[in-house]
Amino acid sequence: MPLPKAELHLHIEGTLEPELAFRLAGRHGVRLPYADTDELRKAYQFEDLQSFLNLYYELMAVLRTEQDFEDLANEYLARAAAQGVRHAEIFFDPQAHIARGVSMGTVVEGLWRALGCSEEGHGVSTRLIMCFLRDESADSALETLEAARPYLDRITGVGLDSAEVGHPPVKFREVYKAAAELGLRRVAHAGEEGPPAYITEALDALGVERVDHGLRCMEDPALVERLVRERIPLTLCPLSNVRLRAVDVLPEHPLRAMIEAGLLCTVNSDDPAYFGGYVADNYHAVRDALGLTKEQMRELARNSFLASFLEDDEERRARYIAAVDAYEFS
């Protein structure tokens, strides 16, 4: 039995496996510029975040109907459950779909057809986090929040993703303020490729409660001290960092140093179909590469529930944490 855990940094579009991409392409008569799944997998060689994003957005062309989004989410939830995930807070990128003529309603209703019954079907509780694309305009983000209004009962929070460098958090101050007024929780990608100053800005200008990646905080000791003091969770994605070359090789990943600095670290999969592993694969990879102890693995799992947006169901959080504490490593 795998260690129980929450996944807090997972882009649902990044769970599109080549097999499902071709199946959906067939469903809609979309021609993908790859002969087959093997040839597509060979394209998964990335130099940086942008080279990945190019393929990530290209493959979204096959996601068109509610059924497609339902199938995508159900495949993820089945894989996640098999890896010990009990709770998943799932990102989606509505602007990338709306730009192709796929409505907010199609995306949210489709995802909800899977998420709304994932406890019964997969034993996984879920939350949805709507991300704004930071390489789009602030006005576009505001329009996206407006388009989400009819669906806010299904959306727990907002996030910020896509190409980081050159798109500082402060650009989205207004939309985050509006989101907070609507009662939405706030997270943002910061310090993945961008500088530590973007992490500080995400905290101060956007009021984020959790930082996605946050890896580069280690370049700024005063920021580390602040993140420790304020107990700001970081959602790290080790296999992603290696594939997108934020880190050269896994043994050089700063996770161990981050844990030892007292940071509230969690381990997640980001875009598992593209980066060679789902969340338990990330846990095992860092255990092996960094020599993490069983108690450090347990702490990562405990942190994942502590950092999750379960304030509306503390009983559930306590149940999940008790399962982590009772877990017997083989």
Binding site for ligand ADE (CB under 6 A): 11, 14, 49, 56, 161-162, 189, 192, 240, 270-271
Considering beta carbons, is residue 11 or 253 the nearer one to ligand ADE? 11
Considering beta carbons, is residue 70 or 270 the nearer one to Zn ion? 270
Minimum Å gap between C-beta 235 and Zn ion is: 8
Considering beta carbons, is residue 240 or 282 the nearer one to ligand ADE? 240
Question: Which residue among the candidates 192, 201, 295, 328 is catalytic per the annotation?
Answer: 192
CB contact at 8 A, 138 and 175: yes
Residue 130's nearest CA partner among 194, 175, 75 is 175
Minimum Å gap between C-beta 315 and ligand ADE is: 32
Token pair, residue 182, equals: 């609507």
Residue 26 vs residues 21, 63, 127: alpha-carbon distances, Å: 9, 11, 30
Considering beta carbons, is residue 155 or 160 the nearer one to ligand ADE? 160
Minimum Å gap between C-beta 71 and ligand ADE is: 19
Residue 106, binding choice from Zn ion, ligand ADE, none, Cβ under 5 to 8 Å by partner class: none
Token pair, residue 317, equals: 């959080």
Residue nearest to Zn ion (CB): 270
Residue 162, binding choice from Zn ion, ligand ADE, none, Cβ under 5 to 8 Å by partner class: ligand ADE
DSSP class per residue in 288-322: HHHT--HHHHHHHHHHHHHTSS-TT-HHHHHHHHH
CB contact at 8 A, 266 and 307: yes
Minimum Å gap between C-beta 127 and ligand ADE is: 18
Residue nearest to ligand ADE (CB): 161
Residue 166's nearest CA partner among 207, 203, 198, 131 is 198
User: Among this protein's residues, is 328 annotated catalytic?
Assistant: no
Residue 216, binding choice from ligand ADE, Zn ion, none, Cβ under 5 to 8 Å by partner class: none
Count, residues near Zn ion per rule CB under 5 A: 1
Minimum Å gap between C-beta 150 and ligand ADE is: 25
Token pair, residue 10, equals: 């997972």
Minimum Å gap between C-beta 11 and ligand ADE is: 4
77-85, 270-278, 293-301, 322-330 -> range binding Zn ion (CB under 5 A) = 270-278
Facing residues of 186 across strands? 158
CB contact at 8 A, 266 and 88: no
Binding of Zn ion by 270 (CB under 5 A): yes
Q: Catalogue the long-range contacts made by 111-117 (C-beta closer than 8 Å, 24 or more residues apart).
A: 111/12, 111/69, 111/70, 111/72, 111/73, 112/154, 113/66, 113/69, 113/70, 113/73, 114/69, 114/70, 114/71, 114/72, 114/73, 114/74, 114/77, 115/73, 115/77, 115/90, 115/154
Considering beta carbons, is residue 240 or 303 the nearer one to ligand ADE? 240
Considering beta carbons, is residue 11 or 79 the nearer one to ligand ADE? 11
Q: Site residues (CB under 5 A) for Zn ion?
A: 270
Q: Mind telling me the catalytic residues?
A: 192
